[in-house]
Structure 1
Amino acid sequence: MTEDLGIWAVPVAMLGGAIRVSTPFLFVSLGECLTERSGRINLGLEGTLVFGAMAGYAIAFESGSAWIGVVAAALAGAVFGLFHGWLCRFKGVNDIAMGIALMLLGLGLAFFFGKPYIQPVAPDLPAISFGWWSEIPQIRAALEVNALFIVGILLAFAMAWMFRNAALGLRIRVVGDSADAARAIGLSPNRVRLWSTAAGGAFAGVAGAYLSLYYPGSWNEGLSSGQGLMAVALVIFARWNPVMCLFAALLFGAAGALGPALQTVGFTSGYYLFFAAPYVLTLVLLIFTSSPGKAMEGAPGELSITK
């Protein structure tokens, strides 16, 4: 029996949206957090995400396995990250400009190679139902959680622990804060940044696979809606803290679900304006984090935007 939740349908829908919409934000922001902690910015993650979405969808369709598609998307993203990291090691190469160039490259390649896969239907990633205890369909739908969301939560806490306690995380932090100090203790900043950028690209590829293989669950050229770029603002807002990236991603996800949530309760007057909520939130956060005294609080010292 379908029950009318009334106004409570809005927070329930926003809860489900926060879980579904936040997952790609979470993976891209964690990847960018890792990359920036090593002292490099990768603005090309939008292109990496879209190419990962295409690669994951294509391989899932050809292989018949959504999880093989996720692995393929991660590998595709890692290749983009390696390419970005390799190019940025040369003297005089600006990582911001190179990121923009690779974003355009990734988008172009995805659109070119993805045309044959717009119509075919690839297998979807499975969901885990945490709403089994309720007989209300809206609650059961809101609490259907993809396994990648759970993986993202675990990654956020694992990365936070790594940066505080693990030797690998401490090496990344040293390289990100001072290349000279890293060289003094025998580390190669270029090598650390190369592999950090590759790992960040792999995370973005997984985010793309989530979009094409689960939500919304199809491949088309307008799939991303700028989520790769918004994730860069999200990392700054989260102060380069992986756990804060998780909460910021949930905030962005809830904002993205606001428009559809209002539709569920019959709000028809200008509800479509609320679809712009994530972009407005990005602008507000950029203004907030650009205020004097807060702009670079907690930023790695080697980032090009801090110099």
Structure 2
Amino acid sequence: MEDATIGIWGVPLAILAGAIRVSTPFIFVSLGETITERSGRINLGLEGTLVFGAMTAYAIDVMTSSPWLGVLAAMATGAIFGAVHGWICKWPKVNDIAIGIAMMQFGLGLAFFLGKPFIQPAAPHLPSIPFGFWSRLAPVRAALDVNALFLIGIVLAILLWWAFRNTRIGLILRVVGDSTDAARAMGIHPDRVRLIATAAGGSLAAVGGAYLSLYYPGSWNERISSGQGLMAVALVIFARWNPIGCFLAALLFGGAGALGPALQSVGVTEGYYLFYAAPYVLTLVILIATSSPTRSLVGAPGALSLTK
């Protein structure tokens, strides 16, 4: 009876709940890729990092019964993946795109190989905060049941936005990202900065994977990711390398991903499954809309290039 009293409001509530749940991995992966690209490097291997982070977090959680320890372990493995990517890409004539694809396949394969023993065991989930405690309606309580990582993502987006503009580290990152020669003239080591930035980006991407396995959907399997790591690259471009823009764009992607389940929840039985493709369609639209052979992207780091 509680669901019936919601009526048509069940759709926006389901979209809100889905946006919060689905957007969280996008938030962390896109913020990580923003750090990396701000330094003048692109990392297409984050899909593999995300999946390996999901496996690592779940495995550690199963063995220790501590989901937060699983998140920390995922961060460590993500940093290692990012550091390897950054170290390889510092060599002359190395193509960032090719290395990223290779690291993605390596991460996926290694996760599937090492994660087989952890497909069946159950593990404790990350905690959530019941912001809907005031309501007697189950759909409202479910929509406002927010995972702690989502809140951490909000704080992280604001801190990164502030740090890029107001700290020495942010200034160094922007200088390296805009001009390698200018950075060297200032006594900055661009390769070192980019390696650290790529490692930091990989660490955050792995947190997005930990969320997938430890909260939503909350299990480990070989189909846990639906390309969030790759779509996050388009999301960063759409957000113009702005951390707060990444957070808002992640909510948009999350809401698009929640359209299908929201329609299904109110009894739409035909055609709703087409809306499951909404995030991928949105990715294509963004890439097409932001592509131009005659002008550069506003806000793009000057040293950022798809080829080296």
CA drift at 1:291: 3.8
Counterpart position of 2:28: 27
Distance 2:251 2:202 in 1: 21
One-letter amino acid matched to 1:273:
L
User: Does the 8 Å contact 2:132/2:141 carry over to 1?
Assistant: yes
Q: Check if 1:304 corresponds to 2:305.
A: yes
Distance 1:62 1:295 in 2: 49
Distance 2:177 2:224 in 1: 32
Counterpart position of 1:258: 259
Q: Check if 1:237 corresponds to 2:238.
A: yes
Range 28-37 or range 280-289, more displaced? 280-289
Counterpart position of 1:134: 135
What percentage of residue pairs aligned between the two structures are identical?
70
User: Does the 8 Å contact 2:253/2:279 carry over to 1?
Assistant: yes
Counterpart position of 2:2: 2
CA drift at 1:3: 3.8
Counterpart position of 1:180: 181
So what's the TM-score if we normalise by structure 2?
0.98
Counterpart position of 1:95: 96
User: Does the 8 Å contact 2:15/2:258 carry over to 1?
Assistant: yes
Q: Check if 1:82 corresponds to 2:83.
A: yes
Distance 2:295 2:28 in 1: 25
User: Does the 8 Å contact 2:75/2:204 carry over to 1?
Assistant: yes
Distance 2:65 2:219 in 1: 15
Secondary structure, aligned partner of 1:128:
strand
One-letter amino acid matched to 1:28:
V
So what's the TM-score if we normalise by structure 1?
0.98
- Coordinate RMSD, CA, aligned: 1.2
Pairing of 1:123-202 with structure 2 (within 5 A) = 123-202=124-203
4+ residue segments displaced more than 6 Å:
none
* Structure 1 residues 249-296: Cα deviation after superposition (integer angstroms, max 9, x where no partner): 000000000000001110011111111111011111111111466652
Distance 1:3 1:15 in 2: 16
One-letter amino acid matched to 1:187:
I
CA drift at 1:87: 0.4
Counterpart position of 1:17: 18
User: Does the 8 Å contact 1:88/1:94 carry over to 2?
Assistant: yes
What 5-or-longer segments of structure 2 have no aligned partner? none
User: Does the 8 Å contact 2:96/2:307 carry over to 1?
Assistant: no
Secondary structure, aligned partner of 1:17:
helix
Secondary structure, aligned partner of 1:305:
coil
Q: How many residue pairs align between the two structures?
A: 307
